[in-house]
Amino acid sequence: MIRKLSLLFAGALMGASAVSLVYGTNGTAANAAGSETYRQLAIFGDIFERVRAQYVTPPDEKQLVENAINGMLTALDPHSSYLNADAAQDMRVQTKGEFGGLGIEVTMENELVKVVAPIDDTPAARAGILSGDLIEKIDGEEVRGLTLEDAVDKMRGLVNTPIELTVLREGQSKPLTFTIVRDIIKVQAVKSRVEGDVGYIKISTFNENTSDDLKKAIERIEQEVPADKLKGFVLDLRLNPGGLLDQAVAVSDAFLERGEIVSTRGREATDIARFGSEPGDLTQGKPVVVLINGGSASASEIVAGALQDHRRATLVGTRSFGKGSVQTIIPLGENGALRLTTALYYTPSGQSIQGKGITPDIKVEQPLPEELQEDVATRGESDLRGHIRGEGETDEGSGSIAYVPQDPAEDEQLKYALDLVRGVKTDPAFPPSPDKAVLNQ
């Protein structure tokens, strides 16, 4: 059950996550609307007044306006939306990578919040919260009936404020009560470990800390394994829904010596921005294998596409999600923010990923557990209603199964990547030759 819920929650993030360019202004002036546009706006005003005055129960007027705005934006594409003040603040928290909270990774199981793991050196870990604990109540309020997002919101809060958790623990006959004081929690965007003679790096999101955390992870691995013993690196981008564009560029740059990483193209033919790399490969040219699947979207596809086109890494896994659009966040002051699709991005070879995804160099399927066989289907950007049809998009579409087992011993894609780096398995695609890079001229 925990695997199923974790998988579905990750999938839910895919539709909302975006590569974001955050502007510090409150937007730009729009072109003047024509008379027909004003006539339509008058119709909207008339309908709004009739609903407000005559609907069977008095509607929430603020909610009516927000829903109307969101209706307009979601009709454009699945990733444009209006963020009210609370949603805009939550987005800033996610991109900043730190918040006031307890420090636990959670999922839902049997209508209760289950602790996947407490994060080291956080209030939850110090209070004695353990993996497998089931949170039954939050400040005396039953968790049953809440969504996972609602429960997480309740556990977050101002630093130095207390919260009481009622916990069910296996082996304990009575519920346990913990009073925990919130502290600043930094999201672990990057996790790493050594797999014998191979460095394994998992990037789960692209927030403001990702590139710095990546550098630290590479340094830790190189300190633990001597250079002459280190065979290479596995960069895991599976189930990574994306994040900030500048962080995707910085992560790609960490493995590249030169060349374009990504370009974005907007509404006008001249609206093109190019992002390049600077000299300095942090891995000293060691072989790299990148893992992708149907849960790899947006910023993670930028990284995968750049390293693949430059022939710096070999991609292993299944086709990525295929979200190749850029969302600009336009602040609206105290009224929140507008998230608007303003451009599409292209890999160094000039290929659009939108609705198509990144195809791995070596396809390796991850077997699904029997209990998930009927519940999990292939899903990608091309399956989203109203998505922008990408250049080169075909009926085959984008995406693939987005599942990663929690136990590395069951992870066939990871095992294949490790065998590839160690030379146990061979393939013409590994190691790739930078001399054969496919770049847009």
Q: Catalytic site residues?
A: 298, 309, 323
- Cis peptide bond N-terminal to 431, omega within 30: yes
Burial class (CB in 10 A: 0-12, 13-18, 19+), 262: buried
Terminal C-alpha separation, the chain: 50
Burial 404-414 (b: 16+ CB within 10 A, else e): bbeeeeebebb
CB 171 within 8 A of CB 133: no
CA distance 182 to 124: 9
**Tokens at 236, concatenated:** 């895991």
- Mention every residue, 6+ apart, whose C-beta is less than 8 A from residue 77: 325, 341, 386, 387, 388
For residues 264 and 347, give the distance between their C-alpha atoms in angstroms, rounded to a whole number: 9
The answer to whether the beta carbons of residues 222 and 192 sit under 8 Å apart is no
Name the helix (H) or strand (E) containing 301.
Answer: helix 299-309
Which residues are within 8 A (CB) of 381 and not within 5 positions of it... i.e. 6 or more apart?
A: 297, 321, 322, 323, 324, 354, 355, 357, 387, 390, 398, 399
User: What's the DSSP call for residue 58?
Assistant: -
**Distance in angstroms (rounded) separating the CA atoms of residues 52 and 44:** 12
**The one-letter amino acid at 277:** S
